[in-house]
Amino acid sequence: MRTLRILTGAIVACALVGTPGVASAQLPDVGAGQGVSTARQQEEAVVTKIQVAPPVVGERTVYLLGQAAPVAATITWVPAIPARAAGASGEGSAPAEAPLTGEVEFFDGAVSLGVAAVTGLGGSVTATVETAAWPAAGLRQVTAQFRPSDPNAFAAAQSPARAYRVVDTARAVPDVALSGASAATIGDARLEWTIANIWFSNFEVGFEREVLAGPVTLPEASVGTTIPEKQAYFFRPFTFTSGSGARDQAGNRVISFEGSVRLTSGSANRWDFSDPRVHIGASGDGYITAEFSGTYLLGAQEFPIAPTRVAIATFTGAKLQPNSAGAVSAEIVLNWAGQAGAPGTWAHEYADSFPNEFVSLLHPAINLFFARSSVATDSSKIPHPITLSFTETLVPDPKPPVVVPFTDVPKGHKFFTEIAWMYSSKLTTGVEQSNGTVKYLPKQNMTREAMAAFLYRAEGAKYVGPKVSPFADVKPGDKFYNEITWMYQQGLSTGIAQASGKPKYAPKSSVTREAMAAFMYRLQGATSGVPKVSPFVDVKSGDKFAKEIAWMYSSKLSTGVEQASGKPKYLPKSSVTREAMAAFLYRAQDGILKQ
């Protein structure tokens, strides 16, 4: 990571004036002295001095709480050349310089930040550690101790403190996310938001504003000539519309907007904010995130910011009370004072700023546009309140999960949903067993009398059978007499013709798939004809129930049985199982079940 020499234009200089060692987590503090040997050493020990290096300056904040970053210190000394032995010849090589060896330990107060081994020649050596051991954020005082391997050769040294600024990017407001079923949907949402504002009093300008895309507006205005007119122009809010979202059962709300806008400051700074999202907890605490990107120009060098969703603003205690029509409208004050958390996070002993997670993405030369820094522009940096409005529509309470009593239909069953619906809709109570349990018997063939009962209940029929049965094999008093005679009365079944003239219903016989198609077709009052090309390989256009079976396919009540050839079979003569019957009725429920 390279150290940058920060050169700023006139506007940047104005914003940072009065801030010695500006953004000291990135820039050197003025006046840090050199440490010297602290212990009295023997005469031959070389005196050393140690100084903590200035914080590294990067394209964005380098020193983040919990993340490793470099801390360095330089040890200096006057190299000692051993004397020649008495009587030795003056010819030949000069005695070698004794190397400095030992270790350097860095401290934040009493907390060790790490230890680095050092060895060097020539009067200077630098030790560096990558440390994430900061005990806290804010203005930190870093010292270093040099401990020589041989105290008789080199003296120990202690540095004076060097100021570092460490940033905690944890948001001041806890995360807010939707959980579980929605209690209300949110629509027609509208957000008025300046995003950021500043007043450069020396130049009587602020951030320029531009709508890039989406359902966003910006009031038409001219700059004007007076200061109030100019400030009104530079402080215009963006209005995002057509937002939508939801409120969960716990009272949390998330509202999303679309659209992109831009702020600029001169020709060097461009910041884009896209698709804002408002998160509001049940307590009224919340924040606004956006997809943030941009660039900063330092001379000819560009420092881009990759698109990142980040919190741009936070708030506490918002009052959002829907009226009788579900409409909500509120002005919400955004946080500033103390939002940086630890004093001295960005400048001096201050803790007032935009959210640290946002400010930390900016180049150190301009991040104080968004934090208090003891300059005339400070009061104008405070974010303006937002106005948020929307309409809530309550979601009906979800029905409790259906408890199915059937011991042969576990939750993982292929047709669990359909059979559970049959039970909850009171179309079936199952078949009681001798041991007291109840089964649905999903693989059992569907009898014609049980099928009549299912359809009768699905239609909510109240029909009472006649005194004289229309069928030769069904008489008054039989278990499903009303249901079977209702089938006849509705024209759903004419029975099976007999030589005696009175048809039979055959109640105990299994229902074939072609007969089921006919029953469903008639029940729905369908009128479709026979297609030119059958959807099933085993049903031809001239077959007895061709139109009814084709209608089952077109109505998506049956897709048939897949074949290797690609065209499915319907298996018209096969019996309908009770699980298949449940599936047919479930798929047709909008047309046959009375709501």
549, 493: one domain: yes
| 344/362 Cα distance (integer angstroms) | 17
3-state secondary structure 518-580: HHHHHHCCCCCCCCCCCCCCCCCCCCCCHHHHHHHHHCCCCCCECCCCCCCECCCCCECEHHH
Q: How confident is the model at residue 211 (pLDDT cuts 50, 70, 90)?
A: very high
Q: Among 80-89, 164-173, 395-404, which range has the highest average pLDDT?
A: 164-173
pTM, entire model: 0.64
424, 347: one domain: no
231, 316: one domain: yes
368, 429: one domain: no
What is the per-residue pLDDT across 309-319, written as a single tens digit (0 to 9) for each? 999 999 999 99
Count of residues for the chain? 595
Q: How confident is the model at residue 556 (pLDDT cuts 50, 70, 90)?
A: confident
Does residue 323 fall inside a structural domain?
yes
Q: Which domain holds residue 346?
A: 182-394
The number of angstroms, rounded, from the C-alpha of 32 to the middle of its chain's C-alpha atoms is: 44
Angle, helices 578-587/513-523, rounded to nearest 10 degrees = 30
141, 207: one domain: no
Burial of 306 (0-12, 13-18, 19+ CB in 10 A): exposed
The answer to whether 443 and 413 are in contact (CB under 8 A) is no
| 410/419 Cα distance (integer angstroms) | 10
| 288/355 Cα distance (integer angstroms) | 10
Does residue 533 fall inside a structural domain?
yes
Mean pLDDT rounded to a whole number for the chain: 88
257, 204: one domain: yes
289, 353: one domain: yes
**pLDDT value at 43 more than 90:** no
The neighbour count for residue 346, using CB atoms within 10 Å, is 31
Rounded to a whole number of angstroms, the distance between the first and last alpha carbons of the chain is 69
356, 449: one domain: no
Does residue 367 fall inside a structural domain?
yes
What is the per-residue pLDDT across 440-458, written as a single tens digit (0 to 9) for each? 999 999 999 999 998 998 8
Does residue 303 fall inside a structural domain?
yes
The number of angstroms, rounded, from the C-alpha of 570 to the middle of its chain's C-alpha atoms is: 46
Does residue 21 fall inside a structural domain?
no
458: helix, strand or coil: helix
317, 464: one domain: no
Burial of 2 (0-12, 13-18, 19+ CB in 10 A): exposed
Boundary-marking domain end, from 330, 365, 394: 394
**pLDDT value at 304 more than 70:** yes
Q: How confident is the model at residue 96 (pLDDT cuts 50, 70, 90)?
A: confident
The answer to whether 586 and 456 are in contact (CB under 8 A) is no
| 520/492 Cα distance (integer angstroms) | 8
**Contacts (Cβ under 8 Å, ≥6 apart) of 185:** 244, 245, 246, 392, 393, 395
Residue matched to tokens 């809530």: 392
| 181/164 Cα distance (integer angstroms) | 47
Boundary-marking domain end, from 166, 191, 218: 166
Assign residue 66 the CATH number of its domain: 2.60.40.10
The answer to whether 239 and 386 are in contact (CB under 8 A) is no
**pLDDT value at 478 more than 70:** yes
- What is the number of structural domains in the chain? 3
**pLDDT value at 7 more than 50:** no
**pLDDT value at 594 more than 60:** no
| 186/311 Cα distance (integer angstroms) | 21
434, 567: one domain: yes
pLDDT of 555 reads 85
**pLDDT value at 94 more than 70:** no
483, 564: one domain: yes
Sign of CA dihedral 340, 346, 352, 358: negative
What is the per-residue pLDDT across 227-271, written as a single tens digit (0 to 9) for each? 999 999 999 999 999 999 999 999 999 999 999 999 999 888 999
In whole angstroms, how large is the CA radius of gyration of the chain?
A: 41
Residue 457 sits at φ, ψ, to 5 deg, of -70, -40
The answer to whether 355 and 196 are in contact (CB under 8 A) is no
Number of H helices, E strands in the chain: 11, 22
**Of 337, 312, 319, 326, which Cα lies nearest the Cα of 240?**
312
Does residue 406 fall inside a structural domain?
no
334, 437: one domain: no
The answer to whether 49 and 35 are in contact (CB under 8 A) is yes
H/E element, 238: strand 238-248
3-state secondary structure 287-356: EEEEEEEEEEEECCEEEEEEEEEEEEEEECCCCCCCCCCCEEEEEECECCCCCCCCCCCCCCCCCCECCH
